Amino acid sequence: MRPAERDALPGATLAWLLAALALALAPHLARLPLWASGLAVLIGISRWLLHRAGRPLPPRLVVLLLTLACAAGVALSYGTLLGRGAGVALLSTMLACKLLETHTARDTLLVIALGYFLVATNLLFSQELPLALYLLVAVVALTGALIELTRPAGAWRINLRLAGRMLVQALPITLVVFLLFPRVPTPLWGLPRDVTSGLSGLSNELRMGAISQLSLSDAVAFRVRFDGPPPPRAQRYWRGPVLWRTDGRRWSQGIFGEARARPGSAARLQPRGPPADYVVTLEPHGERWLLALDLPGAVEAEGYFTEDFQYLARHPVVDVRRYRARSYPEYSTADETRWMLQRALQLPAEVSPRVRELAERWRAAAEPAAVVAAALEHFRREPFVYTLNPPLLGADPVDEFLFESRRGFCEHYAASFVTLMRLAGSPARIVTGYLGGELNPLGDYLIVRQADAHAWAEVWLGDRGWVRVDPTAAVAPERIERSIAPLDAAVGAPVQFQVDVPEGLLRYLRSVRNGWDALRNGWIEWVIGYGPEMQRRFLSAVGMGRLDWRGMTAALTVAVALLLGAVAFSLLRTPGTREDPTTRLYRRFCRKLTRRGLDRRAHEGPLYFAARVGTSRPELRPKVELITDLYVALRYGARTQPALLEQLRRSVQAFRP
């Protein structure tokens, strides 16, 4: 077994290294297995204590066994050594083990390089603006550690200042690479976040109570920027999954699973008013639907229209998706197949006599449009309550809701209404999505939150086609005009709606929230959302619209080469302009002697030159030796000393040979 290595790293260098790695690792600690996080922290502390105590590093065999144990632990924790989570855990533990054998400049350089890679792995889990700003701090710290490695014992403020300056100087090249690097439709390095964490307020099926449990979430679902004024709030229905089949408690899209593509679906739309053009910035939700204002006529995104006017992406939405769309808030539809209408009449195997009797009474008395009006009047007339916390329902939720509890949320009203319409002979279906949206005046766009999740109905009315009917509006018309206030309430308590923000602190807090959201929206639109489509638009705007990935790669190479050439030219053009103050003062001292015939020769060092000047001009010896000693101490000493630099400046200024 080889003997333990001696720690040859200076204390300042090791402190920089450990602090920078701690910043890079910190966001991962909560997502790593507990043993991996604890081990990484323990090794970092142990490495510092070994250095302070002057003890040798562990033998190579110990480090090797610990490394193998970490690899085995990652494999047991994740079931693999591959993938996002396992890969980050393996990198973190291996990097920690590497610290136990890092004792030379070469080892430190390798650890710093791995630290940069560890910083980048944080973006595999999130690309939010706060994390990006934090990671920028970690990059500055790692760069400061690199500077400390090449210039030991430098002042930490000077290292940070130089690291920041280097990153600013790298911005032009970074911007060129960002704009011209060929983009692909899917992320290069994996998912930006866990998309199965229930961030979406929607689902491919509906159970009474599901949306009510998520309606209190203040998380952003998507943002919308209209080309002109947005439509009235009562027309802001954002279409998501359409549900056809029910067993009495659960509603789903049907026996065929996902809605099927139907070419020409948008052509069946008959506008009854002006269109609304807008751009949606959709947050990841892990499903395939692309939300659009009801009813969409065109969506500029890779996907397809379904038979029930949904627009589905080809792949699950696992990153921020930005697309343009055109919709018609006022419309009618036509040309429906008999099979689709039969599908919209499907009923549970068992329906209670009371529910059947209510629907039959309406069916015998009126046409389909009048049946709809009678059902809405029933909801208005009877003591129904719109509540976020409805009481539990039993085996027949529709019957219990209509005749006993009469307290429910939007899915209760939509499911009961569609059931009644089908019993009355009118084809109907449930549409889920979002309703409303809050205007952010600082960014001039709408914010639609998970609290705006909603469910409504569509009824087939002959020549008018599918007509949107929202039974919730009959019970709580405020829901159409206002968003729900996310407040806890007792079971069955009526919903409270948001009111106008009063003057004072609440208005200030709302402004702060809007300002932050506007900043985050800009980050999403122009950085995270800079995908293939936006890159094509940018290249077209600068006259490079016909470039394929080969042309973009060539343009990127040329642009980076030109920038590097400009940097090199600026560094080499005036070699004296970047001298440090110590060298600049010494050159001034040498020029004063040159004017008196005492040239410093190319082979002469400062001490040899001073000795020659003292021999030739003994009267100058004390001042020359003082200036030379100050220069040598500052130029070749461990660190810059402001007092000595000031003394050198005064001595050179007063020197009159």
Residues taking part in catalysis: 410, 454, 470
How far from 224 is each of 54, 283, 295, 326, CA to CA, in Å? Answer: 61, 11, 15, 12
Q: From CA 522, how far away is CA 176, in angstroms rounded?
A: 19
Taking the C-alpha atoms of residue 52 and residue 115, their distance in angstroms, rounded to an integer, is 23
203, 253 Cβ separation under 8 angstroms? no
Q: Residue 259: CA atoms inside 13 Å, Cβ hemisphere, count? A: 30
Long-range contacts of 334-340 (CB under 8 A, 24+ apart): 334/268, 334/270, 334/463, 334/465, 335/268, 336/460, 336/465, 336/466, 340/307, 340/427
Strands (E), 442-556: 445-449, 453-460, 466-469
Residue 443 structure tokens: 């960014």
**Rounded-to-integer distance, Cα 242 and Cα 253, Å:** 6
Peptide bond into 295 cis (omega under 30): yes
- Measured torsion, CA atoms of residues 189, 91, 197, 443, in degrees rounded to the nearest 10: -60
The runs of H, that is alpha helices, within 79-183 are 84-99, 105-121, 129-150, 156-180
Instruction: Output the CA angle 637-638-639, nearest 5 degrees.
Output: 95
Q: Which residues contact 565 (CB under 8 A, 6 or more apart)?
A: none
Which tokens sit at 22?
């701690």
Phi, psi angles (nearest 5°) of residue 597: 80, 15
Q: Which residues contact 405 (CB under 8 A, 6 or more apart)?
A: 390, 391, 393, 492
